[in-house]
Structure 1
């Protein structure tokens, strides 16, 4: 199963350059890297990245993260994936731009993304 992380361009560039990252400032503050499932991703983008352009959607294989990934109740009582270690570039299955069009982030067609 793929899970998703939204990074701002400098955060994605830092991961590519350094090979690891503790995540975005909110991840560092909370002590884990926040991820979303495909159905959760659009709401995450709207809530935490409203109006922001120059974002990247990063896909990670949840199973490959092993015991470092915990599913915990968060927004709306739903289980969200949280990674309790630094994210590694080797964790990335794929990454692509997450464009903003007319104020709405455009997720890839299919793959369970809600618009």
Structure 2
């Protein structure tokens, strides 16, 4: 990730592409530590709604397990939500390369809480494209 670019871009919601296991953990335990990439970078990787499809195509094309799209109340993430420029080696060349990341309170990695999730939908895969009501 590039340098921090700002706390807010005014979105009411940000989105998390979640595996079925992660979504189940959120529901049963009330939080999750996320995927390996989240743990290794110290933040949870999120996206704006218009970034969901490109992220799915570029980073989840070969994922075989069920995926869910989680709608997150951005205000509930507080100042732990930071928008950052994507790394220079990314595939987002349309200028849409500022991504929301959740670092947790005081910028310290912590479990991602379930109470910030306002909606969750299972993503359907057909013809190489993911879809759900939130993406329509």
Deviates more, 1:49-58 or 1:39-48: 49-58
Runs (4+) of structure 1 exceeding 6 A deviation are: none
Q: Deviations over 1:20-53 (max 9, x none)?
A: 1121111111110000001101011111110435
TM-score (norm. length: structure 2): 0.74
Matched, 1:67 2:79: yes
The CA RMSD over aligned residues, in Å, is 1.7
Matches within 5 A, 1:32-47: 32-47=43-58
C-alpha distance in structure 1 between counterparts of 2:74 and 2:133, whole Å = 19
Q: Aligned pairs, how many?
A: 111
Matched, 1:27 2:38: yes
Gaps in structure 1 of 5+ consecutive residues: none
Given that 2:122 and 2:132 are in contact with CA atoms closer than 8 Å, whether structure 1 keeps it comes out as no
Given that 1:51 and 1:104 are in contact with CA atoms closer than 8 Å, whether structure 2 keeps it comes out as no
Matched, 1:80 2:91: no
Q: Which residue of 1 aligns with 2:8?
A: none
C-alpha distance in structure 2 between counterparts of 1:51 and 1:100, whole Å = 11
Gaps in structure 2 of 5+ consecutive residues: 1-11, 105-110
1:99 aligned to which of 114, 124, 131: 124
Deviates more, 1:68-77 or 1:94-103: 68-77
Determine which structure has more spread, i.e. the larger CA radius of gyration: 2
